[in-house]
Amino acid sequence: MKPRAFIDIKRKDPEYRQKEERIKDFQEVEKNLSEEQICQQASRCMDCGIPFCHGSGCPLENLIPEWNELVYRKEWKKALEILLSTNNFPEFTSRICPAACETACTAGLHEDAVTIRQIEKNLIEKGFAENYIIPCPPKERTGKTIAVVGSGPAGLTVADQLNKKGHKVIVFEKNLEIGGLLRYGIPDFKLDKNIISRRIDLMEQEGIVFERNVNIGTDISAEFLLKRYDAVCLACGAEKPRDLPIPRRDLKNIHFAMNFLKQQNKEVTGEPIQEKKISATGKKVIVIGGGDTGSDCVGTAIRQRAESVIQLEIMPEPPETRAPGTPWPQWPYQKRTSSSHKEGCVRLWNIMSKNFEGKNNSITKLNAVKVKWQTNEHGLPDKMKEIPNSDLSFDTDLILLAMGFTGPDIKKLTKALNLKTDESGKIIIDKSAMTSANGVFTTGDISSGPSLVVRAMADGRKVAENIHNFISE
């Protein structure tokens, strides 16, 4: 570790592919740094006495300074061993994680943070390239079996962890393909789906069984699982999208973002689409909702050569740099610009949609009004008021609702297993994430509500440990 590198060497981020070229396809937009550049960037890590990246940044508590040092010394094999000891699928997180580690990095206090995500990506891809990552099925089997419902990041992590401990794991997925929102939510230009298949093949060679196209609760009864397996883990995610119940919501061409994105992902991998195709080609598209989902809709719409794309957000425009209300090392309240935003879309803040208008039952106009926000003592927005006669309207022929998700739609499951739920329908779980049904656990978005891949995986590791302890008693 070169002591002064964090100042002598500037932070270097890989750019995205040329705009004109990348909007023509669904390949991943982010380029990679060379091995030499990565070693140099890794030398910027100061191996802190308290590594805030590890201590308060990364939900997986990755041992970041240790593999930064080993990458700098080109000891790739040892670095990979340490990375995989805390992160089951670095190839996923290093592509789509918002990298809370970097916003907590000490170097970021006055200088630029260490490019942790890039180092993680190069390291895992080097591992695959050099065949350091080979299937190693557990030497002994414990004879215990566990059923995992849902193959999103949370479910896959639970499966991988318990398999390593020697238990037999079977993963049920209602979709045709494995991966949950990794597969059907996050667009290909952020996460190439072959990356998922590469990992699933590996897991299968290590003895994990995947049952595709099986909807637990309809195809197989949940009670059946309970009898046949020593433990059941529900990792069904939080798919129910939040609706926008304003006048003329019934008009055609108003869709939930997920349906639009899911179709695009299927199209890219050649999976057949049952329902009607939602296409943004030649359309004036309005995306309501400023989060990841909204930005993915923008990117997808642009790639479908929409005539124009506007993204509306009800919240105020966040500051350019870290807001004082969220001091280092917290996750900063700050304006973020994704690769999709830079591909040609108009972003507007403080806009509240009032009603839709349409011609022959199809959307043609959106009427909205401007709002003003008050900030709390930390300087963060908490109460809003409509600004009188500030109404404005937008011509549009496709509305995509990307306002997040309200929670899992698991009524069938909860009834089948008679799981106690709270008044908002969320499953009640104890300290070890076990539901009221003995041996039935939940993990990921289903218990935390819509969150991030890295949080889902971190929760998966904890719950896997609890399941292991539960079945080993």
User: What is the chain's length?
Assistant: 473
Q: How far is residue 81 from each of residues 72, 102, 133, 271, measured CA to CA in Å?
A: 15, 21, 10, 35
Piece of the chain touching ligand FAD by CB under 6 A; list 55-63, 108-116, 235-243, 299-307: 235-243
Instruction: Among 108, 153, 289, 299, indicate the residue that binds ligand FAD (CB under 6 A).
Output: 153
Distance from C-alpha of 354 to C-alpha of 349, rounded to nearest angstrom: 15
Question: Should residue 292 be labelled a site residue for ligand SF4 when binding is judged by CB under 6 A?
Answer: no
Distance from C-alpha of 155 to C-alpha of 170, rounded to nearest angstrom: 10
Whose Cβ is closer to another protein: residue 140's or residue 275's?
Answer: 140
For residues 446 and 238, the answer to whether their CB atoms sit within 8 Å is yes
Question: Should residue 207 be labelled a site residue for another protein when binding is judged by CB under 8 A?
Answer: no
| Angle formed at CA 318 by CA 315 and CA 323, multiple of 5 degrees | 130
Residues numbered 24-53 forming contacts with ligand SF4, rule: CB under 6 A: 45-48, 51-53
Piece of the chain touching ligand FAD by CB under 6 A; list 18-26, 108-116, 126-134, 177-185: 177-185
Mapped onto helix, strand or coil, the DSSP state of residue 461 is helix
Mapped onto helix, strand or coil, the DSSP state of residue 96 is helix
Instruction: Among 10, 109, 219, 418, indicate the residue that binds another protein (CB under 8 A).
Output: 109
Question: Should residue 65 be labelled a site residue for another protein when binding is judged by CB under 8 A?
Answer: yes
Instruction: Among 23, 97, 401, 402, indicate the residue that binds ligand SF4 (CB under 6 A).
Output: 97
Minimum Å gap between C-beta 451 and ligand SF4 is 13
Question: Should residue 451 be labelled a site residue for ligand FAD when binding is judged by CB under 6 A?
Answer: yes
| Angle formed at CA 103 by CA 101 and CA 108, multiple of 5 degrees | 110
If contact means CB under 5 to 8 A according to the sort of partner, which of another protein, ligand FAD, ligand SF4, none does residue 100 touch? ligand SF4
Minimum Å gap between C-beta 225 and another protein is 26
In the numeric block, the tokens 């140099």 are attached to 40
Minimum Å gap between C-beta 28 and ligand FAD is 12
Q: 332, 253, 338, 249: which is closest to 299 by C-alpha?
A: 338
- Contacts with another protein, 150-169, as mask; x by CB under 8 A: --------------xxx---
Whose Cβ is closer to ligand SF4: residue 57's or residue 407's?
Answer: 57
Q: Is 246 exposed, middle or buried (0-12, 13-18, 19+ CB in 10 A)?
A: middle
Question: Should residue 107 be labelled a site residue for another protein when binding is judged by CB under 8 A?
Answer: yes
Q: How many CB atoms lie within 10 A of CB 228?
A: 12
**How far, in whole angstroms, is CA 423 from its chain's centroid?**
27
| Angle formed at CA 451 by CA 444 and CA 385, multiple of 5 degrees | 145
Whose Cβ is closer to ligand FAD: residue 358's or residue 444's?
Answer: 444
Phi-psi region at 365: left, alpha or beta (left = phi > 0; alpha = psi -120 to 50): beta
| Angle formed at CA 117 by CA 116 and CA 120, multiple of 5 degrees | 85
Instruction: Among 118, 263, 264, 293, indicate the residue that binds ligand FAD (CB under 6 A).
Output: 293
Q: 355, 352, 353: which is closest to 316 by C-alpha?
A: 352
Q: How many CB atoms lie within 10 A of CB 345?
A: 21
In the numeric block, the tokens 């425009």 are attached to 317
Q: What is the CA radius of gyration of the chain?
A: 23
Question: Should residue 110 be labelled a site residue for another protein when binding is judged by CB under 8 A?
Answer: yes
Residues numbered 186-215 forming contacts with ligand FAD, rule: CB under 6 A: 186, 190, 215
Instruction: Among 29, 33, 41, 76, indicate the residue that binds another protein (CB under 8 A).
Output: 76
Question: Should residue 261 be labelled a site residue for ligand FAD when binding is judged by CB under 6 A?
Answer: yes
Question: Should residue 296 be labelled a site residue for ligand FAD when binding is judged by CB under 6 A?
Answer: yes
Whose Cβ is closer to another protein: residue 52's or residue 394's?
Answer: 52
Q: Is 50 exposed, middle or buried (0-12, 13-18, 19+ CB in 10 A)?
A: exposed
Minimum Å gap between C-beta 120 and ligand SF4 is 5
Question: Should residue 111 be labelled a site residue for another protein when binding is judged by CB under 8 A?
Answer: yes
Residue 20, token pair as written in the block: 């004109």
Distance from C-alpha of 304 to C-alpha of 232, rounded to nearest angstrom: 41
Q: How far is residue 342 from each of residues 16, 24, 278, 370, 402, measured CA to CA in Å?
A: 10, 14, 23, 24, 18
If contact means CB under 5 to 8 A according to the sort of partner, which of ligand FAD, another protein, ligand SF4, none does residue 444 touch? ligand FAD
Question: Should residue 179 be labelled a site residue for another protein when binding is judged by CB under 8 A?
Answer: no
Q: 35, 55, 9: which is closest to 1 by C-alpha?
A: 9
Residues numbered 439-458 forming contacts with ligand SF4, rule: CB under 6 A: 454
Residues at the site binding ligand SF4, with contacts judged by CB under 6 A:
45-48, 51-53, 57-58, 60, 62, 64-65, 68, 87, 93-94, 97, 99-101, 105-107, 114, 116-117, 120, 454
Residues at the site binding ligand FAD, with contacts judged by CB under 6 A:
96-97, 149-155, 172-175, 180-182, 185-186, 190, 215-217, 235-237, 239, 258, 261, 292-293, 296, 413, 444-446, 450-454, 456
Residues at the site binding another protein, with contacts judged by CB under 8 A:
3-4, 6-7, 46-52, 54-56, 61, 63, 65-66, 69, 73-78, 81-82, 85, 106-107, 109-111, 136, 138-140, 164-166, 327-330
